[in-house]
Chains A and B, each alone.
Chain A
């Protein structure tokens, strides 16, 4: 997707070592989303569309302020609105959580992806899809514990938030961060963001009626490049189904771990099949495909 000049740390479906791995230390970047000061204004949604030149899509009224039910292949940043009644006192909360790719340290999508170089992780932690290498198998969708990557049904390429690699590699913050009017979005190194998030959560515990305020940085995926401050960190599910303890699905782990040899055998088998198919039917004419989501419809 991007033309970023960042260093690669992990590559999907890649045999052998990662070129340039470990040659340079880099800070891990992180987006902090303080849900307790988010006002659901959707400036980040608009900034995401505008910066990434995403086309407008149709939406329908769905009994909510939420723009659409879930992220789309061409809508990467979506605030989820949830009306929640607190058990403690029956008071109402209107929770707003900006949902997008979490940029996991151990990305399930990357682990699941069989296509060489379709998903890469940079040394700064950003997980980025390279649609030119995508084979449209959709395994990344299965591999994601946050239900984020979405496939363009026309081109069979999968898209998601890039954490604005093009901006970040130039030393800028992601577009969503820049647009946030209340400052509920922050961007910086993971260490700094964890520190800031921790302080805010402490402030909420001490000065507001949120004794369970805390930081969401789930260890099951090695921590995330997008962390949340939640009013109640013991119940992330109330924020539109944020998983309490996300893990890379065991099928993916199995497939890419102990059973990898099986895949290799299947791949060899597939290659033989392909060769036989070619001998019998000849080359297939390739259809023109538009893999650029920014192209005007």
Chain B
């Protein structure tokens, strides 16, 4: 979230889309209700189903799963057409006025942006760039001297942003970002939105009018928020849906403001923490980019991943990622301590270099193809999670070993007796399965990082039963064993293992408080902050990331968590509910990254002079007498940067401003989001039928990777989701949850049931080209028949919570098939999230 849970209470307008917070985040949803109750805030819900969130909304639109970019693009068009935009904000805080270089082409004709190579299904992105500008902002012709290919065969240097960007503050230049945006979304008319999304034109216009009404007559006081969850990520264009939302919020001047923002509701209590700590293959902790084999030295890596400012000449840009080397060296010092020196390149060679895609479905594909030999499965149930559970089961059959750390036997640990496997076949499965009893969440201490970026320390509530062990104890003991083996037989390259810092009181069971201290980081030498004269002694915890150095005198495991465990103690354990400003900032409750700041980019909550857009919701402001940014929240800005210096509020971008146009390699599939159909779609893309799908999305090639089409009879759009009453694939083992919702079901529209002569409670079989799922029908008015591009289309929904292990399963109440037998293995090209939503099925009586 750019903002936070509590901040939602400050909003005037909510667009909830790609998420169902009333059902999946009921506790956090209280703040949405607070906004309704205390501010008469309006709530718009756009979802394939009329959900429990929709039940308390002011306006509901039923959208076809996967049509979100068409809807949001339509709202962008509506906002521009009706002048419901934040003009000053747009001009000064976004790249709307920046001029894009000649040669950039929109996908209006053929569905692809400039630079597309059909053979490799990738873009050459050098045309996705700003034009360089002269002192007055006019574009200067590109240097004609082409970069000669170095004769040693090294690749040419990657194109970079121009240091001085060309701009047109009148926003009239046809190549300026605003005009390109306007042109790009001019095709997303209400009629087009209706054809693609299935939302009748008048309803769409009602929604667009209501949402953009916060900028009626140019008023800047009100704020609107966009709230989403995995419903937006589970697509082959998921990242771009979220981009569209971010662009809309920039257009309306809602980012950085109390009650505004783009707010991802994370799906687990600690999934934000997992992301922050690099539970993703292409990040290091704190979103540092991983080195690749091409990064031959620390310097080469640092140079590649450290951006340089790129902005209009007369503006200023903080370019905070310019500090990357400080964070990177401190990270290496935290990893390898004394073994990381300037002489050995901070032990850069110890860091694994990521040579290919190690994301979720690629790992399973590798295992399926015999490349990956073993798997540790902790805190997740890979077979049930899918996609394409059958493929994952087949993959596990080929693995040498599988270690499952869980509190229950699950679909993954029992893959070898999944339905359909005969006793004979079982005997032939050679995978060795180790089941390790782990501790449940209430049996562990540590922090949860919530969606609002708050690290909240919790204590263990219960002792672990039996022989259970903590996750960190299991990992530590495996590591110590491996290190012992390396000591005995060093092999080719033992240093990364032998020299890893492991200074815990109990090395075989590190305390998480010690780990958090290590993540926060410390200084190795006495240090003083020149501005505040605060002094630190060697060995002390650093109070924040501004103290981190690139000379090896500091260590820090994750720079964005720096400040969470200081000499003042464990700040994540704070529980002071005080909120003097009344804005829900709660400065002394737990600790929020970065720097205990609650709303990101909060400089944008003020106008150019540093005065809050809304004086009743004062977050930060410029204090003329002290010549500093001050406020109720921690200013997300260079505190002494005078408003007249025009430093951009989006300090993490080299431009200093929000990106309506995302240049160069920011995204794999385009600098503006374009609507593409899901990989399995009931129609051709009405915008450009010759390019129906996201052109850079690649299909997998194993025999288990099949994709259905309407021609083969797969005409029903299927979406998957979660219920309030269950938690993923765990609570099917808990009698209380099972009592609340006892059995799997499939939600289908009344019209469809009537057509099939089916009554609620009767069994039906849902089949995709990959597999089938049998469950009872829930016939409901909450999913209506839709008209998609003039074609009658049905949409159905399947809650995912069952499989072949659980109470209902053991009682013989289910068909023992996980819902993800249906979903396809195909992923978003930026985030690699599978397309769990909006695939095609057929439905028949079982």
Taking Cβ atoms with an 8 Å cutoff, the residues of A that contact B are 36-43, 45-46, 49, 56-65, 67, 83, 85, 91-96, 181-184, 200, 203, 207-209
In the complex the two chains form, is B29's CB within 8 Å of A182's CB? Answer: yes
Nearest chain A CB to B470 CB, angstrom units? 27
B window 1-54: CB within 8 A of A: 22-23, 26-27, 29-30, 33-34, 36-37, 40, 50, 52-54
Q: How far is the CA of A114 from the CA of B445 in the complex (A)?
A: 55
Q: With the chains together, A36 CA to B725 CA distance in Å?
A: 20
Q: Is the CB of A41 within 8 A of B739?
A: no
Cβ of B761 < 8 Å from any Cβ of A?
Answer: yes
Determine whether B782 belongs to the interface, using a CB cutoff of 8 Å to chain A: yes
* Shortest Cβ distance from residue B818 to the other chain A in the assembled complex, whole angstroms: 18
Asked if B743 is an interface residue, CB under 8 A from chain A, the answer is yes
Assembly CA distance A37 to B761 (angstroms): 29
Q: List 19 A-B contacts (CB under 8 A).
A: A37-B37, A37-B56, A39-B26, A39-B56, A41-B22, A41-B23, A46-B736, A56-B735, A60-B742, A61-B776, A63-B759, A63-B761, A63-B777, A64-B778, A65-B52, A65-B741, A83-B782, A92-B50, A183-B30
CB distance from A31 to the nearest CB of B (A): 18
Q: Mark B349-384, 1 if CB is under 8 A from A, else 0.
A: 000000000000000000000000000000000000
Q: Which label, helix, strand, loop or mixed, suits the secondary structure of the A interface?
A: loop
Query: What's the nearest-Cβ distance from chain A to residue B40, in Å?
Result: 4
Q: Decide if B780 is an interface residue (CB 8 Å cutoff).
A: yes
* B724 at interface, CB cutoff 8 A: yes
A63 CA to B741 CA, complexed, in Å = 11
Instruction: Contact check, A92 vs B781: say whether CB atoms are below 8 A apart.
Output: yes
Q: Measured between C-beta atoms, what is the minimum distance from A264 to chain B in Å?
A: 45
B55 close to chain A: CB less than 8 A:
yes
Inter-subunit contact B725/A39 (CB<8 Å): no
Contacts of A46 in B (CB 8 A): 736, 740
CA distance A209 to B206 in the complex (A): 14
CA distance A254 to B153 in the complex (A): 103
B40: which A residues are within 8 A, CB to CB?
A: 203, 207
User: Do A94 and B761 have beta carbons less than 8 Å apart?
Assistant: no
B760 → A minimal CB distance (Å): 3
Select the residue from A39, A95, A184 with max chain B CB neighbours within 10 A: A39
Note all chain A residues with C-beta closer than 8 A to B50: 92, 94
A96-B735 Cα distance, complex, nearest whole Å: 23
- Asked if B745 lies at the interface with its beta carbon under 8 angstroms from chain A, I say yes
B697 on the A face (CB < 8 A): no
B residues adjacent to A (C-beta < 8 A): 22-23, 26-27, 29-30, 33-34, 36-37, 40, 50, 52-56, 58, 60, 724-725, 735-736, 739-743, 745, 759-761, 776-782
In contact, A182 and B743 (Cβ under 8 angstroms)? no
Known contacts A42-B725, A43-B26; decide if A96 and B741 are in contact (CB<8 Å).
no
What are the 9 closest A-B residue pairs judged by CB atoms, nearest first?
A: A63-B760, A39-B22, A94-B55, A41-B26, A61-B743, A207-B40, A56-B735, A182-B33, A181-B27
Q: Chain A residues with Cβ under 8 A from B741's Cβ?
A: 65, 67
Interfacial chain A residues near B740, Cβ < 8 Å: 42, 45-46, 59, 67
A37 to B53, CA, bound (A): 10
**CA of A67 to CA of B743 in the docked complex: distance in angstroms?**
11
Docked-complex contact A83 and B58, CB < 8 angstroms? no
In the bound complex, residues from chain B placing their C-beta under 8 Å from that of A207 are 40
CB neighbours (8 Å) of B782 from chain A are 83, 92, 94
A50 to chain B, nearest CB (A): 8
Q: Least Cβ distance of A51 to chain B in Å?
A: 13
Residues of A within 8 A of B58 (CB): 208-209
Chain A residues near B27 (CB-CB < 8 A): 181
Min CB distance A260 to B, Å, is: 43
B33 touches A184 (CB 8 A): yes
Taking a contact as CB atoms under 8 Å apart, the answer to whether B745 and A61 are in contact is yes
Which of B52, B736, B778, B781 has the most chain A CB atoms inside 10 A of its CB? B52
Chain A residues with CB under 8 A of B26: 39, 41, 43, 181-182
Smallest CB–CB gap between A112 and chain B, Å? 31
- Inter-chain contacts of B60 with A (CB < 8 A): 91-92
- Please tell me which one of the listed residues B52, B735, B736, B776 contacts residue A94 in the complex, with CB atoms under 8 A apart: B52
In the complex, how many angstroms separate the beta carbon of B74 from the nearest chain A beta carbon? 21
- Name, among A83, A92, A96, the residue most crowded by chain B CB atoms within 10 Å (CB to CB): A92
Inter-subunit contact A36/B56 (CB<8 Å): yes
Contacts of A36 in B (CB 8 A): 56
Contact: A96 with B761, CB < 8 Å? Answer: no
Closest chain A residue to B725, Cβ basis: A42
A47 to B742, CA, bound (A): 18
Is A181 a contact of B29 with CB atoms below 8 Å?
yes
Separation in Å of the A65 CB from the closest CB of chain B? Answer: 7
**Closest approach, in angstroms, between the C-beta of B158 and any C-beta of chain A?**
48
Q: Is the CB of A183 within 8 A of B33?
A: yes
A200:B37 contact, CB within 8 angstroms: yes
Chain B nearest CB: distance from A273 CB in Å?
44
User: How far, in whole Å, are A58 and B739 apart by their CA atoms in the complex?
Assistant: 6
Complex Cα spacing A10 to B409, Å = 54
17 additional contacts (CB under 8 A) given A39-B29, A42-B724, A64-B760: A38-B56, A39-B22, A39-B53, A39-B724, A40-B22, A43-B26, A49-B736, A56-B736, A58-B739, A61-B742, A63-B760, A65-B741, A67-B740, A93-B55, A95-B55, A96-B55, A181-B27
Q: Which residues on B sit within 8 Å (CB–CB) of A42? A: 724-725, 740
Contact at A37–B33, with CB atoms within 8 Å? yes
- In contact, B743 and A60 (Cβ under 8 angstroms): yes
Asked if B33 and A63 make an inter-chain contact with CB atoms under 8 angstroms apart, the answer reads no
Are the C-beta atoms of A61 and B33 separated by less than 8 Å?
A: no
A94 to B54, CA, bound (A): 8
Q: How far is the CB of A232 from chain B (nearest CB, A)?
A: 14
Contact present for A62 and B736 (CB under 8 Å): no
Q: Given A60-B743, A62-B761, A184-B33, is A39 in contact with B23 using a C-beta cutoff of 8 Å?
A: yes
Distance between Cα atoms of A23 and B54 in the complex (Å):
50
* Contact of B739 with A39 in the complex, beta carbons under 8 Å: no
CB within 8 A of B761: which of A61, A83, A85, A181? A61
How many Å from the CB of B322 to the closest CB on chain A? 43
Contact status A63-B55, CB under 8 Å: no
Least Cβ distance of A49 to chain B in Å?
A: 7
Contact B33 A59 (CB under 8 A): no
* Given A182-B29, A183-B33, A203-B40, residue A56 in contact with residue B743 (CB < 8 A): no
Quick one: closest B residue to A64, CB to CB?
B778
Instruction: Write out the residue numbers on chain B whose beta carbons fall within 8 Å of the beta carbon of A63.
Output: 759-761, 776-779
A59 touches B739 (CB 8 A): yes
A83 to B780, CA, bound (A): 8
Q: Closest A-chain residue to B31, C-beta based?
A: A182
- Please determine whether B776 and A181 come into contact, CB atoms closer than 8 angstroms: no
**Closest CB in chain B relative to A34 CB, distance in Å:** 9
| Selected contact of B724 from candidates A41, A49, A57, A64, CB within 8 Å | A41
Q: Looking at the complex, which one of A41, A56, A62, A91 makes contact with B52 (CB distance below 8 Å)?
A: A41
By CB atoms of chain B within 10 A, which of A57, A182, A183, A209 has the most? A182
Query: How long is the Cα–Cα vector from A59 to B55 in the complex, in angstroms?
Result: 25
CB-nearest residue of chain B to A83: B781
Give every chain A residue within 8 A of B725 (Cβ-Cβ): 42
Interface centre among B33, B736, B760 (most CB of A within 10 A): B33
Q: How far is the CB of A176 from chain B (nearest CB, A)?
A: 14
Q: Is the CB of A39 within 8 A of B55?
A: yes
For the complex, what is the distance from the CA of A94 to the CA of B53, rounded to whole Å?
10
A182 to B759, CA, bound (A): 34
- Given A40-B52, A94-B50, A96-B55, answer yes or no on A57-B36 (Cβ-Cβ < 8 Å): no
Asked whether, in the complex, the Cβ of B781 is within 8 Å of the Cβ of A67, the reply is: no
- Considering the chains assembled together, what is the distance between the CA atoms of A120 and B59 in angstroms? 46
How far is A56 from B738 in the complex, measured between Cα atoms in Å?
9
Q: How far is the CA of A174 from the CA of B26 in the complex (A)?
A: 20
Contacts of A182 in B (CB 8 A): 22, 26, 29-30, 33
- Closest-CB distance, B207 to chain A (whole angstroms): 13
For B744, give the chain A residue with the smallest CB separation: A61
Highest count of chain B CB atoms <10 Å: which of A57, A65, A93, A96: A65
Known contacts A41-B22, A56-B739, A83-B780; is-contact A96 B52 (Cβ 8 Å): yes
Contact partners of A40 in chain B: CB under 8 A: 22, 52, 55, 724
